[in-house]
């Protein structure tokens, strides 16, 4: 998916919502758990209920990898079910020496045909460049995360700024706003303004709105740019808004609330 196509989707739907499919058997409605394919069926109904209100889906691969081969099969079928009009993100946080990253890139961009994959920048340019070699695909680099441990390294002083600022500045030169995004946690809204000074034109993937306490208003005011420039992800707050048989309709209602608020900021 190109930048033009992504921006057009956002404008046509008045939404920059990304729905996270971090699905676990223990949290889906009991009525589905006894079925032959419960997790895929749950994902299918969530996608059907929300596709007109969002522009992207993010699949955290850990929730599928834990199930072994069966989980990878569910992941692949879920990714294939997502409409091609939507950005399909593999939240895999990969990154290794060059030849290994080439295999990761092939796995997610060729075998599974995702549009985007999250990567960790700690090992440097040769661990990320293989992902950037795919036209029409997006590499989403961890910038400033919302977990408590982000202070261990990311927020340590380095020169005149913080390490995360140096990382974002350095990595931004390896790609362009057409193929490179950055992850910034929603609980770091106060830092988004300074990040925008470093990368005014890149898209930011913002997880953490909802259960993690991030404010959609705060991240929107700080992060929107002339191309919109934001994908705001919500996972649990949408897909687990109800654990009863009405889960899909309640998920739709919650997604519509986000979309309505987003429309007011565009």
Tokens coding 77 = 């079928």
* 58 assigned to active site: no
Instruction: Answer whether 186's CB lies under 8 Å from 235's CB.
Output: no
CA dihedral angle for residue 138, residue 43, residue 217, residue 266, rounded to 10 degrees: 60
Backbone angles phi, psi at 181, to 5 degrees: -120, 170
CA pair distance 83, 234, nearest whole angstrom: 19
Exposed e or buried b for every residue in 198-213, given b needs 16+ CB within 10 A?
bbeebbbbbbbbbebe
CA pair distance 141, 118, nearest whole angstrom: 6
Catalytic, out of 27, 58, 93, 188: 93
CA pair distance 173, 179, nearest whole angstrom: 11
Active site members: 93
């Amino acid at each position: 998916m190109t930048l033009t196509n992504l921006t057009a989707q956002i404008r046509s739907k008045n939404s920059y919502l990304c729905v996270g499919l971090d699905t676990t058997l223990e949290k889906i409605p009991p009525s589905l758990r006894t079925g032959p394919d419960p997790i895929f069926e749950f994902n299918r109904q969530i996608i059907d209920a929300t596709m007109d209100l969002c522009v992207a889906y993010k699949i955290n691969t850990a929730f599928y990898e834990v199930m072994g081969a069966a989980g990878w099969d569910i992941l692949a079928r879920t990714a294939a079910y997502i409409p091609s009009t939507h950005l399909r993100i593999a939240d895999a946080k990969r990154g290794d020496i060059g030849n290994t990253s080439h295999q990761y890139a092939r796995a997610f961009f060729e075998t599974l045909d995702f549009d985007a994959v999250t990567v960790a920048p700690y090992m440097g340019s040769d661990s990320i460049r293989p992902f950037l070699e795919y036209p029409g695909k997006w590499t989403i680099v961890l910038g400033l995360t919302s977990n408590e441990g982000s202070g261990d390294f990311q927020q340590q002083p380095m020169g005149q700024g913080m390490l995360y600022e140096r990382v974002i500045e350095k990595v931004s030169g390896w790609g362009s706003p057409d193929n490179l995004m950055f992850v910034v946690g929603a609980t770091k809204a106060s830092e988004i303004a300074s990040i925008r000074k470093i990368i005014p034109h890149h898209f930011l993937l913002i997880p953490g709105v909802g259960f993690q306490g991030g404010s959609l208003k705060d991240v929107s005011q700080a992060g929107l740019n002339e191309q919109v420039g934001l994908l705001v992800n919500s996972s649990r707050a949408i897909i687990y808004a109800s654990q009863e048989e009405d889960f899909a309709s309640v998920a739709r209602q919650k997604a519509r609330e986000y979309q309505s608020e987003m429309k007011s900021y565009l």
